[in-house]
Amino acid sequence: MGLDVSLSTYAKIETNRMNIRVSELVSLSIIFNVDFNDFFTGLKLPKNNYFY
């Protein structure tokens, strides 16, 4: 996939000390054969957000 992520970077993403890039998220969805939206299951958006 050309995804160059070090163990340190992966650990930071897992522990919420670093944001994941969209390209990394898309690559992981392909690698793990899951729908892109599965990463957001159960995610609650704030009531006052800019998406509505």
Distance CA 27, CA 32 (A): 9
Write the DSSP symbol of residue 38: G
pLDDT tens-digit map of 26-51? 888 998 999 988 988 888 777 765 65
Q: Can you give the residue ranges of every domain in the chain?
A: 7-40
CB proximity list for 23: less than 8 A, separation 6 or greater = 3
pTM comes to 0.63
pLDDT tens-digit map of 5-31? 888 988 998 898 999 888 888 888 998
